[in-house]
A and B are shown apart, each in its own frame.
Chain A
């Protein structure tokens, strides 16, 4: 008889697969509108494609280049202040709801931004500039964390040896540091490229017109501005193919470790004054760049007119957002625990690989593509107007699943290695084992997954853009529309609220807190 905690597993796996299959089926045209191939002859399409690729490439190159000196300073300069705080802030930046950041950037660099007067007459925020600023803000912290981690992994003995051999700084860099870094740079750049290629909210809010649009935004516009499924399908295929190919390519480039906390270990060579200074400058600039846009929200929000601020609406929208995000992250927990129950049960490496592939394959399908597929598939049978909220919750669950899976896998693996025999000797009931041993063991990781997925779902724009409707507006969409109607102070206040909720949730669910 299957154990209780294993029951939902197989069902769940087929469900996960079914969603993607259904989306694919819809993308294949499936009896109705086929993809509109005539777009190939439109300069507009090529312009969109080019812009999508160029902005992603620039974002990833800039993020990586800027991250290197900062990460090095963080790893090697023992005199740096507030390191631990900064690395935690980096984590937050990476999952930060993009609308918070966008509002902050507009308040700084927008047409009446605080910094705009110093940027010269020809400064144009909307378009490539704004998109790059936002993408670098969101991804630089990730790169910093990965690189910093790599640098810290260099063993003490390597440093000592290089020092005894009298290596100069550049020699140490070339012979000791570079080989360690080289392994991750392509993977980091590739990953950032994919994230930016799939970026929706940033481009929608900061694109500023049809000349700076990406595939992801074009899909949304084809469906929601023009209701042209044939065009949306073609664009979705293009997006899917490019992301699929790139993903397979980048996967070969190596694995990334970035969430584990930084460790200060052992002896580090002292650096020359010039290098230290450069490192500190880089660090200072990074701190400024990553903190200022958020800090700006405070003075911007101070300017609100309390009398006309839509308090009721903000309240409603916030509660609704919390509801969506809680349901999505709870669904995710159930999902990921279910997947692992099947994973643990199967002993053959091959079956495990298949299960992993099922859990991870959503990484290759951009949320927008998945949404469009599901949307078009069910359109004739079901009123999305009424049932869109179900899709919003479930799809937010799905897109976070690969992340949750990779986070939990080492912990589950370790658990089985250490406790499987012991637990089977104890002859605990299935339920008891599940609640009293298994879940408590995984709890810190589960909490982290819950927190991160909550914040991701809270900030979702793409899935909501397809299934949502005005009356269900979530906090990011409220901010978007406030900023759109030029109510920057109101937008800043709502953004601060969104930011506050995200920070609070992450803080409460942080594994360190959990173990106390």
Chain B
């Protein structure tokens, strides 16, 4: 309908036409979210059924690329909602002035109290714990700590912390566990590294092709293989020192002209419908407490370690430099 309207105006019919077309909401997210097996398509259908609008996804490789893209586009961005940044990127995004307050009353939803979420700009839509996934058909006794992984001669694929949120998560993890000795630890990890990929999909794809013994992903990734493929071949290695958590976030972009619709989308993400879809498509844990989950999701409850978003923001530049200096040797 919109294009026909354009045609009319192009013909010079200077009739006063107000917007009759359905509204459009543009959501920037990462590529695995919008893939056919990701939550994107189902959420689109569900949301469009209730909003009288068209939902468009535009995808980047991974979470950090998403932020970089938003930053490059600045005020000219078409995005109304940015979906898929995480708590580690939150402070940076806020400081760059890329998002606006969501104006939602978070107490209206039964959010998981462990998350203790009170932020006024970002809403959480799922969370998970980073973990190394292995093939149980190949490895009988998996490593049980980062130290054991570094000491082993197992091959590893992980993601670039400059572009990918899991990669960034590993950076935090290493930083937390090794502190001042992290440089040597990275160098040891580099010896076992097959490749560092730009995004999560690439790394996980390579791992499934048998290119490495371990891949950096989430504790919930095996759930996919159990639920979708009825296979317990892939398992998450549980580490005694604990796991870094990732809370995935959505927010309304600062330049959005569609604020109401964008806010409606954020509330939709917290709805029971959306929260039921997300675990078995994005393979992460729901942020609501009242969602029924397949058994496999409840098997692992890792201990959470890490940094606050503020600490992450303060340390990121230095930590990134440490990483690249260590692994480029």
Chain A residues in contact with chain B, CB under 8 A?
42-44, 47-48, 111-112, 126, 208-211, 213, 221, 224-227, 383-386, 470-471, 484-486
Count the B residues whose beta carbon is within 8 Å of the partner chain — how many? 34
Least CB distance from B9 to A in Å reads 21
Nearest chain B residue, comparing its CB with the CB of A488 = B209
Check B325 against A485 for contact (C-beta < 8 Å): no
Query: B160: CB under 8 A from chain A?
Result: yes
- Which chain B residues numbered 291 to 329 have a C-beta less than 8 Å away from chain A? 320-321, 324-325, 327-329
* Residue in A112, A225, A386 with the greatest tally of chain B CB atoms within 10 Å: A225
Q: Which residue of the partner chain, among B59, B60, B77, B325, contacts A42 with CB atoms under 8 Å?
A: B325
With A221-B162, A383-B73 given, is the CB distance from A211 to B205 under 8 Å? no
Question: Contact string, B48-66, partner A, CB cutoff 8 A, digits 1/0?
Answer: 0000000000111000110
| Contact yes or no, B71 A43, CB < 8 A | no
Known: A226-B68, A383-B76, A470-B58. A213 touches B328 (CB 8 A): yes
CB distance from B48 to the nearest CB of A (A): 21
Contacts of A208 in B (CB 8 A): 195-196
Asked if B195 and A210 sit within 8 Å, CB to CB, the answer is no
**B327 engages A209 (CB within 8 Å):** yes
State in angstroms the CA–CA spacing of A121 and B200 once bound together: 27
- Residue of B195, B197, B328 touching A47 (CB-CB under 8 A): B328
> Per-residue 0/1 for B160-192: is the Cβ within 8 Å of any A Cβ (1 yes, 0 no)?
101100000000000000000000000000100
Checking B77, B162, B195, B329 against A225 with a beta-carbon cut-off of 8 angstroms, the contacting residue is B162
Residues of A contacting B162 with CB < 8 Å?
Answer: 221, 225-226
Residues B328 and A227 in contact, CB atoms below 8 Å apart: no
Q: What residues of B have a CB within 8 angstroms of the CB of A221 in the complex?
A: 162
Q: Which residues of A contact B209 (CB under 8 A)?
A: 111-112, 486
- What are 14 pairs between A and B in contact, CB < 8 Å? A44-B321, A111-B211, A112-B209, A126-B195, A209-B195, A210-B160, A210-B196, A221-B162, A225-B163, A226-B68, A384-B72, A385-B72, A484-B198, A486-B209
List residues 118-173 of chain B with CB under 8 A from any CB of chain A.
160, 162-163
Check A227–B329 contact: CB distance below 8 A.
no
* Other-chain contact of B321, A42, A111, A486 (Cβ < 8 Å): A42
Distance to closest chain A CB from B15 (angstroms): 28
Q: Which residues of A contact B211 (CB under 8 A)?
A: 111
Indicate whether A43 sits within 8 Å of B58 (C-beta atoms), given known contacts A225-B160, A227-B71.
no
A125 to B163, CA, bound (A): 23
Instruction: Decide yes or no whether B202 CB sits under 8 A from chain A.
Output: yes
Q: Is B206 an interface residue when CB atoms closer than 8 A count as contact? A: yes
Complex alpha-carbon distance, A484 and B201, angstroms: 9
Which residues does chain A contribute within 8 Å of B267, judged by CB atoms? none
Top-9 shortest CB links A-B: A383-B76, A209-B196, A225-B162, A486-B205, A47-B328, A44-B325, A208-B195, A44-B328, A44-B324
Given contacts A43-B325, A211-B329, A226-B162, 17 further A-B contacts (CB under 8 A): A42-B325, A44-B324, A44-B325, A47-B328, A47-B329, A111-B206, A209-B195, A209-B196, A210-B324, A221-B162, A224-B68, A225-B65, A227-B72, A386-B76, A470-B59, A484-B202, A486-B209
In the complex, what residues of B have CB within 8 A of residue A484's CB? 197-198, 202
Closest A-chain residue to B71, C-beta based? A227
**Cβ-defined contact, B327 with A211, below 8 A:** yes
